[in-house]
Amino acid sequence: MAWKTLDDMDFAGKRALVRVDINVPVEDGVVTDTTRIERIIPTVDDIQEKGGKVILMAHFGRPKGQVVPEMSLEHIAPAVADVLGLPVTWVNSDYGDAVAKMEGDEVLLLENLRFNPGEEKNDAGFAKRLASLGDIYVNDAFSAAHRAHASTEAIARLLPACAGRLMAEELSALDKALGTPKRPVVAVVGGAKVSTKLDLLGNLVGKVDHLVIGGGMANTFLAAQGINVGKSLCEHDLAETAREILGKAKAAGCEIILPRDIVVARAFKAGADSETLAPDACPADAMILDAGPATVDYISGVLDNAETLVWNGPLGAFEIAPFDAATNAAAAKAAALSTAGKLISVAGGGDTVAALNQAGAADDFTYISTAGGAFLEWMEGKELPGVAALSR
Ligand code: ADP
Ligand code: MG
């Protein structure tokens, strides 16, 4: 899929309506992490350098079409001004008036789009009202692209549209990982449950050369092969589905890599006694909480011969040591290969990003997506409406 970028547009004397994700964490009225705001700087600066004016559109929280004062972007505006180093004016009504009065490098920040019921309904009227404020539409919010909303989908059909820098960077990283990847491609999928990642597994077995299944969901696959997993987290009702995925992988020539050894404990708490056993040796009163060193060795060997890695979901219950060991070791291996220029590594998912940060490996990955739901839908092979609307 191809999309226009800022380089394809002429911003001189134009007003750009820029959809951004500045849904930052706030505690007691104070923004505690400005990462999301920092990531829009290249797009804002670039549009201004090209002679355009910037009008930011964003959502905050889930107000569900109603005005919820605590979710007003008025509270975020000072942090945006601070991070951008530009005058930022928040506007909650009379948008047209504020736009007409924009001066110099002033940036407008429209009130939380989700206060308007038209936003999440992808309402044509609301999109038209937004579109009337600018000349060019720029989408820099990949994390909102899996939703067809007025500011992500309908508006893109009303104005010349392009991807912002962050969106373009994310799309090209994702394309390198699964769209047109260098082979062999390895996918690591872990996490708690198979049920939340069925579509993802189904899509990946048809696309990658090796699929590592780890975390709690590996237990479901072990159990589906007749192995006793004791008190482990396991979705026994998905045994048939797990066997179908194994069959589909076999037909597609995708190697499925399940734990070759397991780390078990009687309690999921810090300092709990744990032992490393063969995959079929889980005691009836124990839980599998991580993969063991033989599994990590095998994964490392596969990564040594791979060109591309895409990763979602930790290999174990990484929140509590020592059950973070397999995740940390595999992450360190992927990070080292990436730094050496031998592997393209892309990872995403809420807990995955936390786990890779905890492992100290995140900075060395080729690309880390912080997009959560949009990243998962992309891994499932779904078309993202906000991205489709940008394609030329
Ligand atoms: P992401 O948010 O990156 O998509 P998930 O939410 O699917 O990842 O999975 C993360 C969760 O999976 C973590 O809370 C982790 O503790 C849990 N998990 C991983 N392995 C196991 C296991 N063997 N038993 C129980 N929970 C596990
Ligand atoms: Mg999660």
The full set of domain ranges for the chain reads 6-168, 181-379
β-strand 15-19 against 136-139: which pairing, if any?
parallel
Fold entry, domain 6-168:
Rossmann fold (3.40.50)
Nearest atom within ligand 1 for CA of residue 197: 7
**Residues flanking ligand 1, CB < 6 Å:** 190-192, 196, 215-216, 233, 288-289, 312-314, 316-319, 349-352
Question: Does residue 219 have a pLDDT over 70?
Answer: yes
Active site residue 53: no
Active site residue 128: no
Q: What is the pLDDT of residues 154-176, one digit of tens each?
A: 999 999 999 999 999 999 999 99
User: Quick one: which ligand is closest to 379's CA?
Assistant: 1
Nearest CA to ligand 1 atom 22: 216
Question: Does residue 22 have a pLDDT over 80?
Answer: yes
Look at residue 352 in the predicted model and tell me its pLDDT.
95
Could you tell me where the beta strands, DSSP code E, fall in the chain? Answer: 15-19, 26-27, 30-31, 53-57, 88-91, 107-110, 136-139, 161-163, 185-189, 210-213, 255-257, 262-265, 274-277, 287-291, 308-312, 344-348, 367-369
- The backbone region for 313, taken as left when phi is positive above 0, alpha when psi lies in -120 to 50, beta otherwise, is left
CA of 217 to the centre of ligand 1 (A): 8
Question: Does residue 358 have a pLDDT over 90?
Answer: yes
CA of 233 to the centre of ligand 2 (A): 15
Amino acid at residue number 198: L
Nearest atom within ligand 1 for CA of residue 290: 23
> Hey, CA dihedral for 208, 210, 215, 216, is it positive or negative?
positive
- Residues 197/322, Cβ–Cβ less than 8 Å: no
User: Quick one: which ligand is closest to 320's CA?
Assistant: 1
Question: Does residue 392 have a pLDDT over 80?
Answer: no
Name the residue of 222, 233, 266, 368 to mutate for ligand 1: max ligand atoms within 8 A of Cβ.
233
Active site residue 373: yes
Q: For all residues of the chain together, what is the average pLDDT?
A: 96
Q: Average pLDDT of 216-244? A: 97
SS3 letters for 289-352? EEECHHHHHHHHHHHHCCCEEEEECCCCCCCCCCCCHHHHHHHHHHHHHHHCCCCEEEEECHHH
Percent of the chain residues past pLDDT 70, beyond the cut: 99
User: Quick one: which ligand is closest to 191's CA?
Assistant: 1
Nearest CA to ligand 1 atom 8: 313
Percent of the chain residues past pLDDT 90, beyond the cut: 94
Which is catalytic among the residues 207, 373, 381, 382?
A: 373
β-strand 26-27 against 53-57: which pairing, if any?
unpaired
Fold entry, domain 181-379:
Rossmann fold (3.40.50)
Same fold, 6-168 and 181-379: yes
Q: What is the pLDDT of residues 172-194, one digit of tens each?
A: 999 999 989 999 999 999 999 99
β-strand 185-189 against 210-213: which pairing, if any?
parallel
Look at residue 391 in the predicted model and tell me its pLDDT.
85
